Amino acid sequence: MDTKTIPCENAEYHIANPAEAWHVKRLFAFQFGAIGTTRVLVWARSMDDALEEAGEYLSEEYPGHLMAHDSAELREQYEMAAEELDLDLDDLDEDDEAKLHEEATTDLTYTEAGYLNSSEWWVDDVHNDECLRNAMVESLLLEDMIHGWQLADVKKWLTKHGASATDAEDDIDAIAYEHGLDPDED
């Protein structure tokens, strides 16, 4: 995956899923790590969907932020929780399993890709027009296939989000060039 960064709200971010940009058009900004050192933009319909996309991206690009479901580290969390709850891991009924899971994962956030330390990630909707434009243009430049969008529609979207006519034209020219399109045809 191309991991070029783009500027967004005074920081550099990676785009996790550029193929979704034109279909979704809602952008989430994530920061991962104790001091937010890994920054990821995710196109998604909801925060839950965005978290899953971010988890998948992290598992491929920055796996150190995730605790795998089958990891020794997670097993250790369960062992510590069992000790705290005075439970025998080899003799658990359904209620004990639920209590153990709750205690072991209380400070973790679940994703299909693995668990995140809940105190080491942050997310917000992106409303900054410049960031939205940068992310949309870069997503369309990164994306290998064009999924039915028209350059005129992209230009309208860019200008709606504050791009000047000249900047929108320049962006359209770059996108068209990248995909071998004629920017004047639509």
Three-state SS at 113? coil
156's torsion region: left (phi>0), alpha (psi -120 to 50) or beta? Answer: alpha
Task: Return the higher-pLDDT residue of 185 and 100.
Answer: 100
- E-state strands within 84-125: 108-111, 114-117, 121-125
pLDDT band at 5 (very low <50, low <70, confident <90, very high): confident
Three-state SS at 117? strand
pLDDT tens per residue across span 170-184:
888 888 887 777 777
Statement: residue 36 has pLDDT above 70 = no
Q: Supply the pTM of this predicted model.
A: 0.83
Domain coordinates of the chain in residue numbers? 5-65+122-150, 72-107
pLDDT tens per residue across span 72-91:
999 999 999 999 999 999 99
